[in-house]
A and B are shown apart, each in its own frame.
Chain A
């Protein structure tokens, strides 16, 4: 029972990070129908930005409160990563809009390779780490046997994810910006004939996705304390899986998908085999897509004949 609870905590924590990245995938896919393969690397990049700024603030400026420094680094990382993603869209995707469907996809793969190699060259191939920012834990039933430990960081990660999901869901469902995003999702041409600036709306979508990736990147840092140039790939692919599993285009779906992938991965590792944990997540995706092609919360596409 303790082990189960412990794995549940670990799974939800990991899944929250996947979920935050998945929102970026799902929003971009929703609006321009493109899988932004560089999104995982944007997540990795944001983590590096957060780490560099955190180190700069604590070491160079000598700020003693790690939590405050972390929040500053998070804010800065959100802004800088948004700028990065805005530029990526401007340079690599927008000129290809209206071209054949695979062009932006290939461009995104190129951008993904560029980002991870760029970070490798600039930051070196080894993992960069920092001391625990938030290292405390709650311990339950630790007398003698296995206890359940609930790290503060896990609590923060889970609740930040839920709160951000609520905020973004509100933006998409209830504000003029979100309405414009949903309109562009359905018919970009018609949206622009109603006076909506489609290019600007798409740019804002990339910025929103990047801001969430930056939160995920910094929370990743909070949980693991280290980051490597190659860390964008696997979380990126799993977050994409999560977005598909939850129903691509749906924000709550992305987070639910993320949590499920996180839980599957953690439980599979513990009860079956650590070596095959990645296989498990993708197998379950394959099975889901066979029986539930539009994902858990996705709207099925009904074609009128």
Chain B
């Protein structure tokens, strides 16, 4: 297991069972702060289930998902928080959150985890710009006095809405969609919708951005643009990225750390070059004869 010196998210013994089916089995890994961590594995390996646990879509059967918004969480603090039964603990060095205890909207709002899905889930009927403004809902809601003062035109609502629009526009500049700000999001081409989804997730100011197959269905040129976008997110923001991806050119090109799952269990964890040459990974992806898998010459390579 790759040792991560400053982990943002520490997943420990995560297990997710659906009746008799074990989708994720005793999985532990860390997401480094400021890193791009890729989660790969064959279809049905349980990658999306891990995402669903991290973002609160599922409640894990077992395990702990501790997220430290900033600073290094001391093991003692995390243990105390686990004991106390609370959802989060305020720390001078940055709050700690136990994601498995929180409902999804609080994970997004308080712990600042954003995600995208395999299929595009933009608000198709809203304009491109509105899609980015809705992501800034919580700060705007406070600024508008929960919309009551906003209706009456009192307070700093106008100014903060202006700020939200500015931020949205700067993202549109970055993803090259500024000309289409007022078009319905559903009318954009596929690749542009993908970029818009990532920009929308970024507008929530996440500390952790979970991307579920962002390169799926992109042509090579679009896939390259995506790489550039993800690299610039890592360079310009304090956002860490957790990525599920099948496109190896994306995974190997941009990730700092790769975790490989197969049948819900972790089979490898390391830098891209380590993982690429791991015989277990090759076996999981390409399939091997039973005899080969048993071969000690391959098994000891981890």
Could you list which residues of chain A lie within 8 angstroms of chain B, going by C-beta atoms? 167, 170-171, 175-180, 182-183, 186-187, 189-198, 299
Partner of B130, one of A177, A179, A198: A179
Closest 8 interchain pairs by CB?
A: A195-B109, A177-B147, A195-B108, A176-B140, A175-B147, A192-B105, A190-B121, A186-B123
* CA–CA, A299 and B126, complex, Å: 13
Which B residue sits closest to A304, measured CB to CB? B186
Partner of A186, one of B108, B126, B138: B126
Partner of A196, one of B105, B126, B133, B150: B105
Cβ-defined contact, B130 with A195, below 8 A? no
- B193 → chain A closest CB, angstroms: 12
Q: Given the complex, which residues of B lie within 8 Å of A190, measured CB to CB?
A: 117, 121, 123
Which B residue sits closest to A177, measured CB to CB? B147
Given contacts A179-B134, A179-B137, contact A193 B108 (CB under 8 A): yes
Partner of A299, one of B123, B125, B151: B125
* CA–CA, A198 and B106, complex, Å: 11
Query: Besides the contacts A176-B140, A180-B134, what 13 more A-B pairs have beta carbons closer than 8 Å?
Result: A177-B146, A178-B147, A180-B137, A182-B126, A183-B126, A183-B134, A183-B137, A186-B124, A186-B125, A186-B126, A189-B121, A192-B105, A193-B104
Which A residue sits closest to B140, measured CB to CB? A176
Interface centre among B115, B126, B134, B140 (most CB of A within 10 A): B134
Given contacts A175-B144, A177-B147, A183-B126, contact A192 B137 (CB under 8 A): no
Which A residue sits closest to B164, measured CB to CB? A176
Number of A-B contacts (CB under 8 A): 78
Q: Does B114 contact A (CB under 8 A)?
A: yes
Q: Given the complex, which residues of B lie within 8 Å of A197, measured CB to CB?
A: 105, 109
Q: Given the complex, which residues of B lie within 8 Å of A176, measured CB to CB?
A: 137, 140-141, 144, 147, 150
* CA–CA, A192 and B104, complex, Å: 6
Could you list which residues of chain B lie within 8 angstroms of chain A, going by C-beta atoms? 55, 57, 103-105, 108-109, 114-115, 117, 121, 123-126, 130, 133-135, 137-138, 140-141, 144, 146-147, 150-151, 200, 204
Cβ-defined contact, A177 with B108, below 8 A? no
Cβ-defined contact, A171 with B151, below 8 A? yes
Q: Given the complex, which residues of B lie within 8 Å of A178, measured CB to CB?
A: 147
Cβ-defined contact, B108 with A194, below 8 A? yes
Q: Given the complex, which residues of A lie within 8 Å of B103, measured CB to CB?
A: 192
Given contacts A182-B123, A186-B126, contact A175 B108 (CB under 8 A): no
Cβ-defined contact, B123 with A195, below 8 A? no
- A66 → chain B closest CB, angstroms: 29
Instruction: Give 23 CB contacts A-B under 8 Å.
Output: A175-B150, A176-B141, A176-B150, A177-B150, A179-B130, A179-B133, A180-B134, A183-B134, A189-B121, A191-B134, A192-B103, A192-B104, A193-B55, A193-B104, A193-B108, A194-B134, A194-B200, A195-B109, A195-B135, A195-B138, A196-B138, A198-B105, A299-B125
Cβ-defined contact, A187 with B121, below 8 A? yes
Which B residue sits closest to A170, measured CB to CB? B151
* CA–CA, A212 and B140, complex, Å: 25
Which B residue sits closest to A168, measured CB to CB? B151
Cβ-defined contact, A175 with B151, below 8 A? yes
Cβ-defined contact, B114 with A193, below 8 A? yes
Q: Given the complex, which residues of B lie within 8 Å of A183, measured CB to CB?
A: 123, 126, 134, 137
* CA–CA, A182 and B200, complex, Å: 16
Given contacts A192-B105, A193-B108, A198-B105, contact A171 B125 (CB under 8 A): no
- B94 → chain A closest CB, angstroms: 19
- B87 → chain A closest CB, angstroms: 15
Which A residue sits closest to B139, measured CB to CB? A176
Cβ-defined contact, B151 with A187, below 8 A? no
- B179 → chain A closest CB, angstroms: 23
Q: Given the complex, which residues of A lie within 8 Å of B151, measured CB to CB?
A: 167, 170-171, 175
Q: Given the complex, which residues of B lie within 8 Å of A195, measured CB to CB?
A: 105, 108-109, 135, 137-138, 204
* CA–CA, A67 and B114, complex, Å: 53
Partner of B204, one of A179, A182, A194: A194
Q: Given the complex, which residues of B lie within 8 Å of A194, measured CB to CB?
A: 108, 114, 134-135, 137, 200, 204
- B244 → chain A closest CB, angstroms: 15
Q: Given the complex, which residues of B lie within 8 Å of A182, measured CB to CB?
A: 123, 125-126
- B138 → chain A closest CB, angstroms: 5
- A113 → chain B closest CB, angstroms: 33
Q: Given the complex, which residues of A lie within 8 Å of B134, measured CB to CB?
A: 179-180, 183, 191, 194, 196
Which B residue sits closest to A299, measured CB to CB? B125
Which B residue sits closest to A200, measured CB to CB? B105
Cβ-defined contact, B126 with A171, below 8 A? no
* CA–CA, A182 and B137, complex, Å: 12
Which A residue sits closest to B149, measured CB to CB? A175
Interface centre among A171, A179, A190, A193 (most CB of B within 10 A): A193
* CA–CA, A190 and B147, complex, Å: 21
Which B residue sits closest to A171, measured CB to CB? B151
Q: Given the complex, which residues of A lie within 8 Å of B124, measured CB to CB?
A: 186
Cβ-defined contact, A193 with B146, below 8 A? no
- A247 → chain B closest CB, angstroms: 13
* CA–CA, A176 and B200, complex, Å: 16
Which B residue sits closest to A186, measured CB to CB? B123
Q: Given the complex, which residues of B lie within 8 Å of A186, measured CB to CB?
A: 123-126
Q: Given the complex, which residues of B lie within 8 Å of A198, measured CB to CB?
A: 105
- A212 → chain B closest CB, angstroms: 15
